[in-house]
Amino acid sequence: MSVESLFPRLEALLPKVQKPIQYVGGELNSTVKDWDEATVRWALMYPDAYEVGLPNQGVQILYEILNELPETMAERTYAVWPDLEALMRSEGVPQFTVDAHRPVRAFDVLGVSFSTELGYTNLLTALDLAGIPLDAVARTDDDPIVLAGGHAAFNPEPIADFLDAAVLGDGEQIAIAISEVIREWKGEGAPGGRDELLMRLASTGGVYVPKFYDVEYHPDGRIKRVAPNRSGVPSRVFKHTVMDLDEWPYPKKPLVPLAETVHERFSVEIFRGCTRGCRFCQAGMITRPVRERSITTIGDMVEAGLKESGFSEVGLLSLSSADHSEIGEVAKGLADRYEGTQTGLSLPSTRVDAFNIDLANEFSRNGRRSGLTFAPEGGSERMRKVINKMVTEEDLIRTVTTAYSQGWRQVKLYFMCGLPTEEDIDVLGIADLAKKVIKAGREATGSRDVRCTVSIGGFVPKPHTPFQWAAQCDHETVDRRLRELRNSLRGDKEYGKAIGYRYHDGKPSIVEGLLSRGDRRVGSVIRAVWEDGGRFDGWSEHFSYERWMTAAERVFSGGSVDVDWYTTREREEHEVLPWDHLDAGLDREWLWQDWQDAVSDVEVEDCRWTPCYDCGVCPTMGTEIQIGPTGKKLLPLTVV
Amino acid sequence: MVQRLRVRYAKRGRLRFTSHRDISRAVERAVRRAGIPVAFSAGFSPHPKISYAGAAPTGVASEAEYLEIGVSRPCDPDRIRADLDVSLPPGLDVLEVIEARAGSLADRLEASVWQLRLPGADVAAAEQAVKEFETADRVEVERLTKKGMRRFDARQAVRSMAVVDDRERTAGQEPGPPCVILRMVVRHETPAVRPDDVLMGLRLVAGFAPPSPPEVTRLAQGPLDATTGEPADPFDVERADGDL
């Protein structure tokens, strides 16, 4: 049975909406396969606006891998803005894919990638527009399997009601494995309907099906236990790890949009995982171990990607890019290859040390030296020990002095507010640090033309980190500290004008905290917010704290839990956490020990260069660190 | 920069929803993919030397859009036409490339021919509205711009306007729903009078209001020929020079 394109009906609505180009598809390197020739059909969603969702690496990688499989096809869908949503509702146009404008409900799987929890309300909009029941248990064999992935899927409990399944970790291999299970099941005539399919997926231990698990609670609101409610379902679900990134050199053909998006560049992941051990960083904890892509594969991917896309900028992505064992050679090799071609190279997520400046110099060889970014994260030496961000004040001053004296005029410094054990003085320490940075910069350059911007955000404790037990700081305290920091910076006659200050208020962090560490009971709050019109919670112009608090109060009234219980309450060691049955490989006892070390200012080294400290990932997941050096170099490209 | 190439391209089908900025990004990338030796401006942040003349509004299709590329070594225009066309997404189609001679391309684009398909509109009502519009001296319309609501005359810029035969109904085998096609020649003025401004004018003078949004296509633009009242081909200068 073929499926008709919704485009003619959509087209009539497009003249009436903002930025209609985002809905028409047709991107360079996009793929439209024959519906009838595929057995397994995926709709991949990034639950935010197209301009944010299109550049997402996870979606682009899975899109390409799935479309390379015979009998399998993948199309993409994104959150539509409220102007189009209203028109789609009044004209009865359902949620569509941008590739061939097919209705999302016609696909076998709706795979949704959650980088952040703030996309949850957009999931509900998409399901509702698609005509898919919000409640997983109300779905029929005519509805797709709604499957979540991405970092937020490491605690999918707040959206458990709306999901059929979730997967943890790297998607490349598990997406193929799931396609194979679906292909076989459909080949047999889809015996037992969707429940049998879900059972086949769940029994592997690599796909979490929330409805096959029951949650019991203590009278005081804590979780008593989470356990499978049928036989054949494993009690724990494990994460997926791609071990050899050279075997998976995706994206090969990056999608090149017509519409403007947030990242206008070709991005190559140079490694996955990070063992720096920053205790606030969920990404660093759940993506272990470190697996490097080799210098030669990086070079090949950059060459092919630029050729396929026409992008003029390359981003080398990872959680801490300067940590690649051959980053110096990568930087030099790429800078040599693309010298004089107006190709920009960028290295986000770097650490605070002088080596970084060498890299940045290499990357800006024939471009401009505008700004460098460093992330000390904590304002005081003590705070940085608590979060295990091993940067001393001396390191920072020395690094920025080098940057200024080598021609960089602007330095950006990232910090967090509301960290565990934080006091006013730790945040005010940021002002002292910034002033010292400018003072050192002026001395080093003999000029007053140096600037520094302090950028600060609220800390949110995340699952599967040592801070998963921590009390989140209330927003009143965060806002007060941010205000005092601002006064201290602005009020300074000598340095105030040279220091920029960017911050967000603390309220959104509380909602993020509720969704990050929430359990299944939070699902009703998400639904209530969505019913009340909540959309695009990651956008300050759409986000409403009051809407979330009103909904939470209504949902939680008369019960034993509330927003504070989920956010500002510290957890005890043995409290069952909502995600305890989801296995990121981290040993719970190690996490607890690391939490205890945090509050006693004890630091932990990186296991790439010091002995293993038993975080548990490698033995549990059967993985190991994969790093170079390979000793290879990038040869010059052949001249055409 | 050793040579300037003038490009005529079309914006068709769903790609009519591209904005001017979308097109300039797509062209810059296509130029890189095609390996065209585009010249760059000097200075702190070099830009490729590509300039655009009078882009059609977002949502409007066009058979006659123009841009100019400065290149750093001499290129064969036909080769560039083929390479650039392959490198652009289908729907942004390169129709003609010619080496620039003297004068500014933008200055030659004095007027446009627009075609408006109005599905579901009534032919007699459209003809009546066009007649009333043409007898009026001034037709004041309003448009929301970035600077707020602006009032301006939409009449004087319209050189000619006519209801043309509905080709789809005569050529098609089965008669479809009624559809009015308006063809108009509009001079480029400041403030610019767009096809939808003229449509608003028709509504104001005669209460003519099509039931669904118009499908607008720019068919041609160029220097206004005083005798025919139609825009001529802006590349006539280059072609004449080439024949010498």
**Are residues A621 and A238 in contact, defined by beta-carbon separation less than 8 angstroms?**
yes
Say whether pLDDT at B89 is over 60: yes
A256-291 pLDDT per residue, tens: 999 999 998 999 999 999 999 999 999 999 999 999
CA–CA separation, B9 vs B218, rounded Å? 11
A218-243 pLDDT per residue, tens: 999 999 999 999 999 999 999 999 99
Clarify whether residues B74 and B116 are in a common domain: no
Q: What value of ipTM does the predicted structure carry?
A: 0.88
Q: Does B47 lie at the interface with A, CB-CB under 8 angstroms?
A: no
**Are residues A75 and A43 in contact, defined by beta-carbon separation less than 8 angstroms?**
yes
Buried b (16+ CB within 10 A) or exposed e, B51-87: ebbbbbebbbbbbbbbbbbbbeeebebeebbebbbeb
Q: Does B41 lie at the interface with A, CB-CB under 8 angstroms?
A: no
- Taking the CA of residue A363 and the nearest CA in chain B, the distance in Å comes to 15
Last residue of one domain, picked from the residues B63, B84, B100:
B100
CA–CA separation, A309 vs A15, rounded Å? 28
Which chain A residues touch B25 with a CB distance below 8 Å?
A: 258, 260, 264
CA-closest candidate to residue B18, choices A229, A260, A268 = A260
Q: Does B79 lie at the interface with A, CB-CB under 8 angstroms?
A: no
Q: Is residue B57 part of a domain?
A: yes
Nearest CB to A258: which of B35, B87, B89? B89
Q: Does B25 lie at the interface with A, CB-CB under 8 angstroms?
A: yes
Clarify whether residues B173 and B153 are in a common domain: yes
* Phi and psi, residue B8, nearest 5°: -105, 130
Q: Is residue B138 part of a domain?
A: yes
Q: Does B119 lie at the interface with A, CB-CB under 8 angstroms?
A: no
* Phi and psi, residue A590, nearest 5°: -65, -45
B205-243 pLDDT per residue, tens: 999 999 988 999 999 999 999 999 999 999 999 988 655
Clarify whether residues B64 and B128 are in a common domain: no
Q: Who's near A194: CB < 8 A, 6+ residues apart?
A: A139, A140, A141, A143, A145, A164
Decide which of A441 and B167 is more confident: A441
CA–CA separation, A498 vs A448, rounded Å? 8
**Are residues A41 and A113 in contact, defined by beta-carbon separation less than 8 angstroms?**
no
Structure confidence at residue B176 (pLDDT):
61
CA–CA separation, A581 vs A286, rounded Å? 14
Q: Is residue B236 part of a domain?
A: no
- E strand intervals along A330-369: 344-346
Structure confidence at residue A32 (pLDDT):
96
Q: Do B33 and A7 touch (CB under 8 A)?
A: no
Q: Record the tokens describing residue B207, joined without a space.
A: 């209460």
Query: HEC profile for A395-447?
Result: HHHHHHHHHHHCCCCEEEEEEEECCCCCCHHHHHHHHHHHHHHHHHHHHHHCC
Clarify whether residues B143 and B207 are in a common domain: yes
CA–CA separation, B205 vs B198, rounded Å? 10
Q: Do B30 and A310 touch (CB under 8 A)?
A: yes
**How distant is the alpha carbon of residue A279 from its chain centre?**
16
- Taking the CA of residue B225 and the nearest CA in chain A, the distance in Å comes to 33
- Number of structural domains found in chain B: 2
**How distant is the alpha carbon of residue A3 from its chain centre?**
33
A27-39 pLDDT per residue, tens: 999 999 999 999 9
**How distant is the alpha carbon of residue A11 from its chain centre?**
33
Q: Which of A9, A10, A258 to mutate to test the interface with B (most CBs of B within 10 A)?
A: A258
For the residues A622-633, what does the mean pLDDT come to? 92
**Are residues A97 and A76 in contact, defined by beta-carbon separation less than 8 angstroms?**
yes
For the residues A399-405, what does the mean pLDDT come to? 91
For position B154, which CATH number holds?
3.30.70
> Chain A: residue nearest B84 by CA?
A310
% of chain A exceeding 70 in pLDDT: 98
Nearest CB to A26: which of B15, B21, B44? B15
A83-110 pLDDT per residue, tens: 999 999 999 999 999 999 999 999 999 9
Structure confidence at residue A581 (pLDDT):
98
CA–CA separation, A76 vs A251, rounded Å? 15
Which chain A residues touch B35 with a CB distance below 8 Å?
A: 640
Domain that holds residue B140: 108-222
Structure confidence at residue A69 (pLDDT):
97
Structure confidence at residue B172 (pLDDT):
46
Q: Is residue B242 part of a domain?
A: no
CA-closest candidate to residue B199, choices B211, B187, B191, B189 = B211
Structure confidence at residue A640 (pLDDT):
47
Clarify whether residues B86 and B177 are in a common domain: no
CA–CA separation, B158 vs B111, rounded Å? 9
User: How far is CA A249 from each of CA A175, A293, A328, B33, rounded to the nearest angstrom?
Assistant: 16, 9, 21, 21
**Are residues B108 and B220 in contact, defined by beta-carbon separation less than 8 angstroms?**
no
**How distant is the alpha carbon of residue B244 from its chain centre?**
30
Interface of B with A in 202-231 (CB under 8 A): 212-213
CA-closest candidate to residue A147, choices A80, A198, A199 = A198
- Taking the CA of residue A103 and the nearest CA in chain B, the distance in Å comes to 18
* Block residue for tokens 């080799």: A294
CA quadruple B51, B55, B57, B63: dihedral positive or negative? Answer: negative
- Taking the CA of residue B184 and the nearest CA in chain A, the distance in Å comes to 21
Clarify whether residues B212 and B112 are in a common domain: yes
CA–CA separation, A143 vs A139, rounded Å? 6
Which chain A residues touch B40 with a CB distance below 8 Å?
A: 342
CA–CA separation, A310 vs B33, rounded Å? 5
CA–CA separation, B197 vs B139, rounded Å? 10
Q: Do A307 and B15 touch (CB under 8 A)?
A: no
CA–CA separation, B156 vs B170, rounded Å? 33
* Block residue for tokens 């004008």: A497
**Are residues A573 and A592 in contact, defined by beta-carbon separation less than 8 angstroms?**
yes
Contacts within 8 Å (CB) and 24+ apart, B209-213: B210/B118, B210/B119, B210/B120, B210/B121, B210/B180, B211/B119, B211/B120, B211/B121, B212/A12, B212/B118, B212/B119, B212/B120, B213/A12, B213/A15, B213/A16
User: How far is CA B2 from each of CA A210, A640, B49, B239, rounded to the nearest angstrom?
Assistant: 66, 21, 12, 20
For the residues A530-542, what does the mean pLDDT come to? 97
Buried b (16+ CB within 10 A) or exposed e, A582-614: bbbbbeeebbebbbebbeeeeebebbeeeeeee
Q: Is residue B239 part of a domain?
A: no
Class of domain A7-238: alpha beta
Q: Report CA Rg, chain B.
A: 20
For the residues A65-75, what does the mean pLDDT come to? 97
Q: Record the tokens describing residue A468, joined without a space.
A: 């998963």
Say whether pLDDT at A365 is over 80: no
Structure confidence at residue A347 (pLDDT):
83
Q: Is residue B243 part of a domain?
A: no
For position B44, which CATH number holds?
3.30.70.580
Give B234's DSSP letter. Answer: T
Clarify whether residues B112 and B212 are in a common domain: yes
Clarify whether residues B115 and B62 are in a common domain: no
Structure confidence at residue B174 (pLDDT):
56
Q: Is residue B169 part of a domain?
A: yes
Q: Do A11 and B14 touch (CB under 8 A)?
A: yes
- Choose the weakest-confidence range: A364-378, A471-485, B59-73: A364-378
Q: Where are the domains of chain A?
A: 7-238, 265-367+605-640
Q: Record the tokens describing residue A28, joined without a space.
A: 């360079």
Say whether pLDDT at A146 is over 60: yes
- Taking the CA of residue B182 and the nearest CA in chain A, the distance in Å comes to 19
% of chain A exceeding 90 in pLDDT: 90
CA quadruple A479, A480, A484, A487: dihedral positive or negative? Answer: positive
Nearest CB to B32: which of A21, A25, A310? A310
The most distant pair of C-alpha atoms in chain A lies apart, rounded to whole Å, by 77
What's the CATH number of domain A265-367+605-640, 3.40.50.720, 3.40.190.10, 3.30.1050.10, 3.30.750.210? Answer: 3.30.750.210
CA-closest candidate to residue A420, choices A346, A472, A376 = A472
Nearest CB to A256: which of B29, B46, B212? B29
**Are residues A527 and A124 in contact, defined by beta-carbon separation less than 8 angstroms?**
yes
Last residue of one domain, picked from the residues B100, B132, B160:
B100
Q: Which of A17, A21, A314 to mutate to test the interface with B (most CBs of B within 10 A)?
A: A21
Q: Is residue B233 part of a domain?
A: no
Mean pLDDT of chain A: 95
CB hemisphere CA count around A238 (13 angstroms) = 16
CB hemisphere CA count around B157 (13 angstroms) = 24
